[in-house]
Amino acid sequence: MDRFSILVGDITKSGAEAIVNAANTTLLGGSGVDGAIHRAAGPELLAECRTLGGCETGQARLTGGYRLPAKYVLHTPGPVWRGGGAGEAALLASCYRSCLLLAEAHGIETVDFPSISTGVYGYPMAQAAAVALKAIMDFLREHELPRRVRMVCHSPEAAEIYRQTYNMWYAEDKDGRL
Ligand code: APR
């Protein structure tokens, strides 16, 4: 699927029309990618987030990007990893689907994701990658928009896990391997 790709980078530098923020339910900022996005976007982002009244885990909210290169930020609180028996996979899949539905509804063509819940929230990377890729690939098969989706990994190790997972499940043939 040439509409999806995996790369290593800092999502705050992304030129995608929308970047996704691995937020918390208050939407009032935090550490990790949340902290990086708020630092790069500037105070207007927090001011807009304050008007949203929070967001449930697995849901998504759209704001402006302000001083970010991205025009929009899609904020989604991922699940905290509690060992896998508390519905974490379904909630994580819902994060990806909610962001993609919101992007489609706003005619957004390109969306970059970080690896939601795999930092502070402790979701094991390989298990998160399987959930994330299935949610993204299932959505792209059913929808024309977004035109392009990328997974922006913060380290080569994370990207390798995503690439291995992708190649195991989605590479049409060895030439299609990332
Ligand atoms: N660009 C891309 N990916 C990043 C960046 C960045 N600039 N910074 C961190 N990451 C990666 C991390 O390496 C991790 O793989 O994003 C992934 C998600 O990690 P976190 O940012 O810790 O998010 P999460 O695990 O979902 O925890 C969310 O942390 O920051 C707080 O307010 C946030 O309470 C919420 C919680």
Q: Is 55 in the pocket of ligand 1 (CB under 6 A)?
A: no
**CA-based radius of gyration for the chain:** 15
CATH code at position 89: 3.40.220.10
How far, in Å, is the centroid of ligand 1 from the Cα of 115? 7
pTM over cut 0.75: yes
Quick check: CB of 22 below 6 Å from ligand 1? Answer: yes
For the chain, the maximum distance between any two Cα atoms, rounded to a whole number of angstroms, is 48
pLDDT, tens digit only, all 178 positions of the chain: 689 999 999 999 999 999 999 999 999 999 999 999 999 999 999 999 999 999 999 999 999 999 999 999 999 999 999 999 999 999 999 999 999 999 999 999 999 999 999 999 999 999 999 999 999 999 999 999 999 999 999 999 999 999 999 999 988 754 544 5
Tally the domains of the chain. 1
Distance CA 122, CA 108 (A): 30
Catalytic residues, by residue number, are 34
Query: Collapsing DSSP states into helix, strand and coil, what is residue 170?
Result: coil
171 lines ligand 1 (CB under 6 A): no
The answer to whether the CB of 156 is under 6 A from ligand 1 is no
Nearest CA to ligand 1 atom 5: 33
Range of the domain at 38: 4-176
Q: Which of 161, 146, 156, 70 is closest to 137 using CA atoms?
A: 146
